[in-house]
Structure 1
């Protein structure tokens, strides 16, 4: 019975295809880390990672190959991050790396390392080996809650999660607009 409960707990927090944490779990972890960041004045960073032209991989080689790519992609990213970092699937081919106690410049270096590793990696699929690139958006919160305006029934952490993810997402799309296979950092740490 304990094994069944343990298995259900794992299934509740992981993406069934890739084994990465699922969106709900990563969102809760971001909120938890932001709360700790505010309490202790420590930085936290978020990196949004998107596989460039993933749709064309699916269209050209089929969904099985696309699934192979996603599974190995998670393994490759997992090998590049610290044990304190958290990798989660945000949706489709978008992933989030949550880096506690990490300032913006450190997160930019991590994002660049992720980009370079993926760029060089020969991904093994049922079709054969494929190479592709990623676009990454990076943002950071320095732990200062500033003068954040609240809405009814919304916590500071909820507001900051939304802002942090929106900024990382905007930067990731900026990287795509600038030609893909790039890291686009926010110009400064998130301000509230």
Structure 2
């Protein structure tokens, strides 16, 4: 019995205080029900047998569920809650990008495929924006990984605040993000892309200063490639290829012109 209570105490430490309260509440309800059932059945048995000493059997009927039901049930509840929390964390890791908290590429592409299938069934347009932070490699080389990660998080948060609940947004690859716009045609998606570019151009963050390099303000700029099922059909790869090609053209046009300043 002492070993059982030790196992119960160990399992309880694996879950949070609120989860322990939930497990304890559920255990109390079920144990109380078991005690009541045990008392009723024992009372019926006493009446049928005609036993005069009814106190001892009733006390035993009340104690047995407390000793035999409550500890293993509480143990099972704690283990079940810990397992559920662990599974939730695994599911979260499977669908989220650890740095930005956005959907990661595999999960986002799966959702895009489902959206394309729905658009085929219900005959509506889906557009996508492939968004890239300009000169991100140069930013990393100049200011380091910490500033680069800070730029990615700031950029992701900025766009996330401006999109609709029905839109799908995730980190696609490195400094690239993918925004899926259901019920949006090409022209509307292009206008939204221009708005997001202007919004990104207003983002600034500080690079950490060093002994040899003072702190500087870093401007985050974006390029965007637009694609739509209006032009590419409803297959995943052609749609992504169109957006990637549009992004490639914008990248080359930017190189032919004077590139936007990385610093301010």
| TM-score, normalised with respect to structure 1 | 0.81
Say which of 240, 243, 247 aligns to 1:172: 247
Query: Retained in 2: the 8 A contact 1:43–1:140?
Result: yes
Give the match for residue 98 of structure 1: 180
Q: Which has the higher strand share?
A: 1
Give the match for residue 117 of structure 2: 35
Q: Cα distance 1:39–1:6, how it changes in 2: closer, same or farther (>3 A)?
A: same
Segments of 5+ residues of structure 1 without an aligned counterpart are 146-156, 181-192
- Per-residue deviation at 1:144? 9.7
Give the match for residue 225 of structure 2: 137
Q: Secondary structure at the match of 2:195?
A: helix
Root mean square deviation of aligned Cα? 1.9
Segments of 5+ residues of structure 2 without an aligned counterpart are 1-81, 210-215, 256-264
Summarize the alignment of residues 1-192 of structure 1 with structure 2, pairs less than 5 Å apart.
1=82, 2-124=84-206, 126=208, 129-142=217-230, 160-179=235-254
- Per-residue deviation at 1:10? 1.0
Q: Cα distance 1:101–1:16, how it changes in 2: closer, same or farther (>3 A)?
A: same
Query: Retained in 1: the 8 A contact 2:151–2:220?
Result: no
Q: Secondary structure at the match of 1:178?
A: helix
Separation (CA, whole Å) in 1 of partners of 2:101 and 2:166: 17
Give the match for residue 33 of structure 2: none
Q: Which has the higher contact order (CA 8 A, sep 6+)?
A: 1
Separation (CA, whole Å) in 2 of partners of 1:19 and 1:126: 23
Q: Which has the higher helix share?
A: 2
